[in-house]
Structure 1
């Protein structure tokens, strides 16, 4: 297990801050800026950052076969982090140090769950944009994307999205329409777009640009996105960003689902994270809701197929259901039995629909930040940040300092 250490601000008896990395390679950037960095500076704390097993350089096997992935789970990852904290605390200079863990997104789950399962090791936690409720058919995700574009997009943007996606749907209903679509969208001649999985992959791809903007954008960027979209009616493909899963080759786009699954095998983080969604969390972002403009052409079955084709036929819907039930039972879903944890969400972020939005208790409050997106509270203030976001960061730091009795704090 790889971890990083930074002791620039640490003084005797100062707290230990651990930033938990999630589904990707660890980076030291969160030991150089952001809310953890500021807390450490203001309370004379030590800073650490942990890398999740099976990601980055913390891989126990060279090849991520299904058999080798057996030891990949959130529960195992929590045990790894607990062991790291135990080892750190063995140093005599840390005998009296309080421990604060910080994480965002899936790692936000881990921060809350560390406090849940290891309260003797962890004194407080920040769970930012943490989707603590495992869910199979996460149709609310696109509902939230739709709300963001309806509320913050330009006039007519939402209706234009509806028109464009309805047209896609209509073209898929005839052979002539499919031929026209393939020509317009530069889809490879060899790609059979009459296959349901390939068609769904097309809709997922076209929807992804809107998903990304809602999850990571702000009202201004959503408005700018809409201005470009309404003017051109071009739905930016994820392939325009040179993503590995959908690379542009031979001057055409390839929506062969089976080939995409094969390509994923060469991308370690994608193989690992997809395994966790198939075995623990779901989080499958479908179009099954009527309250969104992207049509209903992304089905949960697409993700079950991804699971079985990636890891084996036993990784079916039943296996997904069992994993989700186990996760929610183990960790408590939206009502984890914790104290000294602050659950923070931005209301633009579609993932907030799976987060703790009401106080669990007086000492486990929920903070919803208007006009904020995924994990924005973990960053340092910027001039363009809304005041609500800046005030939320002050509130989070106040809570942590109060809970561990360190630094100067007063309620903002």
Structure 2
């Protein structure tokens, strides 16, 4: 997703009391954390602004409005320069996106203005005070797209931007929004970068763990693949007897009070274990996968998150408590508000359930789609069942075209290592809707600037993306010039 959509990497958050909560999508959250680590100077030219939005863009009887946050940076802009909008996804907007990366470089090189939008219900852009599930009904993709359209129209109404071309950029779920802005509002948006965009909504997203498994097979060290497979098969075997369950608890420091024989708690256990590997590959390099393999080869367990990223590593002090009901309760805590909102979108529009229902993955068949259905119903009510998510998935794919959207001047970018690429556009739709597939690259890496250690393929991809955008907006300038000339004569 964080991106995302961040996306639905199975990040596990541990409290001092053990397992408490997991989030559907690490994609955008992780992207935000990395960008936030880039310091913004106190004298930064980035300005925080607010715009009034309709609560419901499609119901004339609904008159309520709300304030949406966005960021603005104009120090590189020159007359007739383009307008670049970085679309915010399932997390708070951060000004760091206007200080580095492909969009930042494009703005420098084309004398463009930069903006970043914040998605409704995330960060400080709160349309309503949520007291019950009815207050969530305005959290939909069409409403989010209409918010962006209103923001862009407001920007280009300013005299200085009246002749500016508009380019939108997004990663993970926001990559979907970037492509769909060009689809739904082609007269407003001239070009788009859709990075790691899972444009195909799908309830049973079994391909995610297939890609994770493939990454370990291709880039893991000798014996790593079999070690992972054997470990998960051993978990499954231990679950079959009372003595085995006791041994499993001892080896994995699971609380005695945790009844892991309950199906939903058992699913949580396997989800936790598999997500250690999902977490690694979504933002991996081949070297990181190899390092992870080295850390687990020859060990009895693979509980810990990768040692090279202390920010996300479990700080386990006591036993791990696997309890589905506690997980549901954790979603309602204020600090998990963003995860609650993204899960609502997953349960109503996208699915993205990262299951283990395929035989072509390493983690045994112990993470079913029904586990996520139960989570949706437990969080939002019995009506949020399998039928509802399937209806939402079908609606999204029908509205926007799935992996074959009818768009031009959109570049779809994916990394080989990224599990989300399975739901994205990997082959050219047309010459003006190309797919850029980057070997040895991961989720949304193209959106960053070149740095030491980046593979040549990634650097070349960034250069190609920028050239495509420059070509598209320059062609638009030429066409506008011809039309103006003909009109004047």
Question: Does TM, normalized by the shorter one, top 0.5?
Answer: yes
Aligned to 1:214: 281
Aligned to 1:347: 416
Equivalent residue in structure 2 for 1:38, among 102, 105, 108: 105
Quote how far apart the aligned CAs of 1:179 are.
1.2
Aligned to 1:19: 86
Aligned to 2:461: 392
Quote how far apart the aligned CAs of 1:252 are.
1.1
CA distance in 2, matches of 1:312, 1:243: 31
Quote how far apart the aligned CAs of 1:242 are.
8.2
Quote how far apart the aligned CAs of 1:237 are.
4.3
Quote how far apart the aligned CAs of 1:247 are.
7.8
CA distance in 1, matches of 2:254, 2:127: 39
Equivalent residue in structure 2 for 1:166, among 216, 233, 249: 233
CA distance in 2, matches of 1:277, 1:163: 32
Aligned to 2:342: 273
Once superposed, what is the RMSD of the aligned Cα atoms?
1.8
CA distance 1:303–1:64, shift in 2 (3 Å):
farther
Aligned to 1:410: none
Aligned to 2:398: 329
Unpaired runs of at least 5, structure 1: 408-412
* Contact 1:239–1:248 under 8 Å retained in 2: no
* Contact 1:205–1:237 under 8 Å retained in 2: no
Q: Does 1:313 align with 2:382?
A: yes
Quote how far apart the aligned CAs of 1:346 are.
0.4
Q: Does 1:338 align with 2:407?
A: yes
Equivalent residue in structure 1 for 2:360, among 269, 291, 298: 291
Equivalent residue in structure 1 for 2:196, among 109, 126, 129: 129
Measured against aligned partners, the alpha-carbon deviations of 1:196-224 in whole angstroms (never above 9, x if no partner) come to: 00000010001111001111101011001
Quote how far apart the aligned CAs of 1:234 are.
2.9
TM-score, normalised to structure 2, is 0.81
1:26-65 paired onto structure 2 within 5 Å: 26-63=93-130, 65=132
* Contact 2:252–2:303 under 8 Å retained in 1: no
Equivalent residue in structure 2 for 1:357, among 426, 431, 453: 426
* Contact 1:206–1:238 under 8 Å retained in 2: no
* Contact 1:239–1:247 under 8 Å retained in 2: no
Q: Does 1:381 align with 2:450?
A: yes
Aligned to 1:107: 174
CA distance 1:305–1:237, shift in 2 (3 Å):
farther
Q: Secondary structure at the match of 1:405?
A: helix
CA distance in 2, matches of 1:311, 1:17: 37
Quote how far apart the aligned CAs of 1:63 are.
3.0
1:92-103 paired onto structure 2 within 5 Å: 92-103=159-170
* Contact 2:215–2:281 under 8 Å retained in 1: yes
Quote how far apart the aligned CAs of 1:239 are.
12
